[in-house]
Structure formats: structure tokens, C-alpha cells
Amino acid sequence: QVQLVESGGGLVQAGGSLRLSCAASGSRLSINAMGWYRQAPGEQRELVAVVSNSGSTNYADSVKGRFTISRDNAKNTVYLQMNSLKPEDTAVYYCNILGRTGFPFRSFDSWGQGTQVTVSS
């Protein structure tokens, strides 16, 4: 069983910054893609950013140039640095991690509990 623990959300004024973290724990982890999604009230969950195990990244157009996703493989942790935040970035942010775990290896697709990010105007 893989558990994800998110941290770093909060309330910030427009133009400010926040950094989200998501740490995975479990037996014999082999992590592939790590990503961040968000869901605003009344909206569908959408992809914000993803980083592969080779380090390649992909961003939603709405956050390009403002958000940076990174990962620390030694800590099984993914980060989302959010700069120049806008009120429309307000949402619950979820991390998502895919990989394999256990013995024998089996695939997993795990989600964090979500962390609220609120940007005031």
C-alpha cells in the first residue's frame, strides 16, 4: 500500500508564491510519473503539471511560466513551486503518483488527500 502526504497549501495574496510537497511512502517503491492536479468548486479535476521518471515535464497552458514541478527521487517526493499566483488558481490541489510497489511488484496509481490553495485578489 502506497500512502501520499501532501503539504504546503494555504492562503496567499495575488502575486504571491506557495510551494506544495507530496511525499510517497510504501514498500519497495519504484516511481514513474508524478503529477499535480487541481479541482475548483463546480469544476472538473484538471492536470496542472507532470514530471516523468526521466525528468521531462509538461504543464497546463494556464500555469506555464509561473509553476515549476520537480521531484526528489531519493525522498520519493514531488514539489510544485507556484509563483505569480492568481485568484483563478484557487482550488484543491492533489498529487498523483504512478509506479510499482511490493514483492512481487505490482502497479499503483495513488492520490494525495488534497490541499487547499486560496489566492485572494
Give strand ranges (E) for 1-121.
3-7, 10-13, 18-25, 30-39, 46-51, 57-59, 67-72, 77-82, 91-101, 106-111, 115-120
Note the pLDDT tens digit of each residue in 58-69: 999 999 999 999
Q: What mean pLDDT is predicted for residues 12-34? A: 96
What is the β-pairing status of strands 115-120 and 91-101?
antiparallel
List pLDDT tens digits, range 68-118: 999 999 999 999 999 999 999 999 999 999 999 988 999 999 999 999 999
| Residue 3 banded pLDDT, cuts 50, 70, 90 | very high
Is pLDDT above 90 for 46?
yes
So what's the pLDDT on residue 77? 97
> How many Å apart are CA 18 and CA 21, to the nearest integer?
10
pLDDT at 21 over 90: yes
pLDDT tens digits, one per residue of 10-20? 999 999 999 99
The whole-number pLDDT of residue 1 equals: 84
Give the C-alpha separation, 116 to 109, whole Å. 21
Phi-psi region of 12 (alpha: psi -120 to 50; beta: other; left: phi over 0): beta
* 52 has pLDDT over 90: yes
Reported as a pLDDT band with limits 50, 70 and 90, residue 22 is very high
